[in-house]
Each structure stands twice: as C-alpha cells, then as structure tokens.
C-alpha cells in the first residue's frame, strides 16, 4: 500500500510565531527598498492584523529586531496532523498521548499490504478521510535495488549509503508534497539493509516526519539528528525530542564525535552555512539553523556529505574539510548542493530576515544591491574549492531538486529558473582546473548509483 500520490501528509509540532506574515513582509520590504519610513508603515499595518503583539515597528528607529522575543525563541509548540488533497483539507491538534499512536499508524500505513488492517488502525474518530488515503501498490517505477556497496541517489537530498553489511538513509522526504514534482517519487519499501537514518537539518526539503516514519517499520532503528541546544525561529524543533515523542530511537551526537553503525563509521561534522548571513559579526547566541554534515567511512569508499553548507560567522566548511583530511586522509567522493542562497533575501527562507536587527538588514540590503552579498552556501565554485581541499577523487551533485527518477536536474532552483545541474558541473570543472585539482565531476541524476569496490 501507499498514500495516494497527490496527498499531502504532515505530522509536525508547530511553534507559535504569532501569525507573522514573513513572506509578505519580505516582499514588501524589498518593494520599498528597505526605506525606513515605508518599512515601519508595512510593519504597523501587519501588526494591526495580528491577534497579539509579535512585531516591533519601532525597531526601525532603535536599530533592533523587527519581531518580538517570543518570535525569535518560541516558548511552545502544538502538534498537528494534517491531510490535504487538492482543495480538501483535514487537520487536528494532537495531545501528547496521541502522538505515538499516530506515529505507529504512519509506520504501519506504508509497510502493511493489508488495506483493511490499515483502516482499522486509523487513530481518529473522524473517519471521513479513511477511504481516500491509500491506493494499492502497483507495478511501476522503482528505485534501483540496493544490493551492492555504493551511493544511491534518491529524491532531492535523500541518499542511501550502502557498505557491505550496512545501509544508512539520509534525509528522506518521499511524502513531502509541498515541493515540486514530489508526486513522482516511487512508492515502495525502504531500501535494505536499513540500519539507521541520518538527518542533516530541519528545512522542509530535508526533514519531514511522515516520510521518516514511512521508512521505519521498527521503533528501534536509530535516527541520527543534529543536536539543538535551544529551538528558535531558525530551528523550530528539537529533532531528538520530536522523534522520541514518536517512539523512535534517536541519537544526537555533538560535532566532532564519531558514531559507528554496523561497518560504517560516521564522523559528525559542523554545518556552517545556510544562515541569515554568510559572514560578518556573529548571530545572536542560540539563534541558528542547527545541522550536521557527515563523513561516511566504509571498507570500500568514503564520502563527505556537505549538503547546503558553506560559510557563516561561526565558521567555514573549508576548515572542517581540512580537519577531516588531516584525521582521515583524502576522501573518495564529495557530495554537495550547488545552489546559491543570497540570505536573508532568498524567498525560499522568507523568515530569515526576522533573525537580524534592522541596522544589519539595511547594510545587507546595500550589499545586495551592489552585488557584494555573499552566498551562505558554497555554490559551484565554493564546492570546487572544498573538493580541492579534501583531495577528493570525485564530486557528485545532489540536493538540487527532483524532476523524476532518471531525469536530470534542469533547474537547481527547483523551478525558480536557475541553471541546470550540468551547467553547475561545468562551472566546477573550470574552477577545479584553475586550482590544479584532479577531482572528477561526475554527471548523474536521481535514481542512479555509484558502486564501489575497495575504492
């Protein structure tokens, strides 16, 4: 069985952010060019529509934050179960004692072949959605079999890292219907052997609880997550706490630790980058997009998983990669996203502006206008530099979107009109040649596999 292709399923603890219309305000501030008087008017008009104070229009005068403290650091979250199909929507808040039964239902729903048993396990009194959730598994497109050591590229940032005896799934989002083309992700069982799951960070294209549970028929399969000292506007959830509420075994190792799963050693690396700023003065303490990068070390190959990282005021991935080289030696493969994010003016992360005080927003906007604003992610040239530092044998692009199994990525902006993956690969080859690096940039697409045997 599997959920019907156009069904959106969410099980999520949502923080109380006061109803702030982040995207609308960002577009408005860009429209008025961050002019102080016009920006204050936008904030005052938006504030008048909110049920309680959440904005600080006077931040324009004092140079401080434009949102209240409880928006920067939400004090509470409410769990919700949400189902949406086309224009039809059903949602319900969940008390704490209901989270585990719902999580168990999601596990069963994608692993049982008995439709009647799934219907009987429906954990809600409202049965209006019970008959329309599922469709029997049909022959069709499937992910490649996972019988040999290698790197199996799946939807967007999802990878299956396979050694001789062990398999680790990274960032599964197969049921995340908020993103373009995701209805094309093949249904079906989790890859085998599924020994653990690793999560990089909490953005919706990397972290989706229903997708995660759909791959985990067993509660005791460990999930490795970033350690979150304090939830905030930039990391809404404590990942460990969220998964423990779902009954899932969870590990939150610190940066610098090594975790062993079967015959794979996993180095937990810092995640620098994809913050509201790429350089300059540090962000406010505790206000951070918390994440992990990883180095997977197997008998046959090693790979560095750098996700959407790059640089931020706390550090630079070049130093992280150099430290990994000193500790482990050259890596076989570097994998990284090639998209560039001009934070905090990137619409895909439209709440990022609220994590910065007004004085800094104005300066960043001037940099943006004058073409001086740095990307928080490495982008193609930065990824080439990281490959050279790692002395990597090969580079594989990933986390550039999804357009279907076996289909190349024609837009690394996932429909925003950005360059193709092939174009980004060509830019990387030029940069690597300029640096005198021997790293090979391999072409590929979701659904393809790189196999290894003793390197």
Instruction: Provide the pLDDT for residue 130.
Output: 73
Task: Write down the residue that tokens 């790189």 correspond to.
Answer: 450
Give the pLDDT confidence of 386-413 residue by residue, as tens digits. 999 999 999 999 999 999 999 999 999 9
The CB-side HSE value for 90 (13 A sphere, CA atoms) comes to: 13
Instruction: Provide the pLDDT for residue 133.
Output: 78
- Residue 137 confidence class, pLDDT cut points 50, 70, 90: low
Instruction: Enter the pTM of the model.
Output: 0.96
For residues 304 and 291, what is the distance between their CA atoms, to the nearest angstrom?
15
Confidence check: pLDDT of 128 > 90: no
Instruction: Provide the pLDDT for residue 85.
Output: 86
- Residue 121 confidence class, pLDDT cut points 50, 70, 90: confident
Q: Which of 183-192, 308-317, 419-428 has the lowest mean pLDDT?
A: 183-192
- Residue 57 confidence class, pLDDT cut points 50, 70, 90: very high
Q: Which of 183-192, 228-237, 323-332 has the lowest mean pLDDT?
A: 183-192
Pick the closest to residue 211 from 187, 193, 192 (CA basis).
Answer: 187
Phi, psi of 438 (to 5 degrees): -95, 5
Instruction: Provide the pLDDT for residue 414.
Output: 92
The helix-helix angle for 379-390 and 317-328 (nearest 10°) equals 20
- Please report, rounded to a whole number, the percentage of residues in the chain having pLDDT higher than 70: 98
Instruction: Provide the pLDDT for residue 20.
Output: 97
DSSP 317-377: HHHHHHHHHHHH---SEEEE------TTS-GGGTTGGGGS-HHHHHHHHHHHHTT-PPPSB
Mean pLDDT of the chain: 94
Q: Mean pLDDT across the stretch 258-284?
A: 96
Confidence check: pLDDT of 306 > 80: yes
Task: Write down the residue that tokens 């994608």 correspond to.
Answer: 110
Q: Mean pLDDT across the stretch 73-98?
A: 92
Q: Which of 9-18, 76-85, 133-142, 239-248 has the lowest mean pLDDT?
A: 133-142
Q: Which pairing describes strands 77-85 and 7-15: parallel, antiparallel, or unpaired?
A: antiparallel
Q: Mean pLDDT across the stretch 329-349?
A: 93
Instruction: Provide the pLDDT for residue 136.
Output: 65
For residue 240, give every residue at least 6 positions away whose Cβ sits within 8 Å of its Cβ, in sequence order, or none. 225, 227, 228, 250, 251, 252
Give the pLDDT confidence of 138-168 residue by residue, as tens digits. 566 789 999 999 999 999 999 999 999 999 9
- Please report, rounded to a whole number, the percentage of residues in the chain having pLDDT higher than 90: 84
207-223: b or e for each residue (b if 16 or more CB lie within 10 Å)? bbbbbbbbbbeeeebbb
Domains and CATH numbers, the chain: 141-340+375-451 (3.60.15.10)
Instruction: Provide the pLDDT for residue 27.
Output: 96
């Amino acid at each position: 069985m599997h959920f019907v292709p156009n069904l959106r399923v969410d099980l999520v603890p949502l923080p109380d952010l006061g109803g702030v219309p982040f995207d609308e305000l960002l577009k408005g501030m860009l429209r008025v060019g961050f002019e102080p008087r016009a920006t204050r008017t936008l904030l005052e008009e938006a504030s008048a529509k909110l049920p309680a104070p959440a904005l600080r229009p006077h931040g324009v005068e004092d140079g401080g934050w434009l949102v209240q403290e409880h928006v920067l650091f939400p004090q509470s979250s409410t769990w919700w179960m949400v189902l949406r199909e086309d224009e039809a929507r059903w949602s319900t808040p969940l008390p704490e004692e209901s989270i585990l039964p719902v999580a168990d239902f999601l596990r069963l729903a994608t692993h049982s072949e008995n439709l009647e048993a799934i219907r009987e396990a429906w954990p809600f009194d409202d049965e209006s959605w019970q008959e329309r959730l599922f469709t029997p598994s049909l022959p069709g497109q499937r992910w490649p079999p996972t019988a040999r050591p290698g790197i199996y590229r799946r939807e967007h940032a999802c990878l299956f890292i396979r050694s001789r005896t062990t398999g680790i799934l990274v960032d599964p989002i197969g049921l995340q219907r908020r993103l373009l083309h995701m209805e094309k992700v093949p249904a079906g069982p989790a890859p085998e052997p599924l020994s653990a799951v690793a999560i990089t960070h909490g953005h919706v294209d990397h972290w989706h609880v229903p997708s995660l549970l759909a791959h985990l028929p067993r509660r005791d399969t460990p999930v490795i997550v970033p350690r979150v000292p304090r939830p905030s506007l930039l990391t809404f959830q404590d990942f460990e706490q969220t998964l423990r509420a779902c009954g899932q075994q969870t590990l939150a190792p610190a940066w610098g630790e090594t975790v062993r799963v079967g015959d794979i050693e996993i180095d937990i690396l810092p995640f620098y980058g994809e913050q509201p700023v790429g350089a300059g003065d540090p962000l406010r303490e505790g206000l951070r997009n918390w994440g992990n990068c990883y180095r997977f070390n197997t008998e046959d190959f090693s790979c560095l998983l750098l996700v959407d990282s790059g640089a931020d005021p706390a550090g630079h991935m070049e130093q992280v990669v150099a430290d990994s080289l000193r500790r482990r030696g050259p890596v076989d493969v570097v994998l990284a996203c090639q998209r560039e994010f001009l934070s905090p003016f990137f619409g895909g992360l439209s709440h990022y502006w609220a994590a910065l005080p007004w004085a800094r927003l104005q300066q960043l906007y001037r940099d943006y206008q004058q073409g001086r604003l740095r990307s928080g992610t490495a982008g193609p040239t930065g990824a080439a530099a990281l490959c050279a530092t790692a002395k990597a044998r090969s580079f594989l692009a990933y986390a550039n979107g999804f357009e279907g199994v076996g289909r190349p990525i024609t837009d690394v902006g996932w429909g925003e009109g950005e360059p193709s993956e092939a174009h980004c690969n060509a830019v990387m080859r030029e940069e690597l040649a300029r640096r005198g690096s021997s790293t090979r940039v391999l072409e590929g697409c979701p659904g393809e596999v790189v196999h290894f045997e003793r390197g």
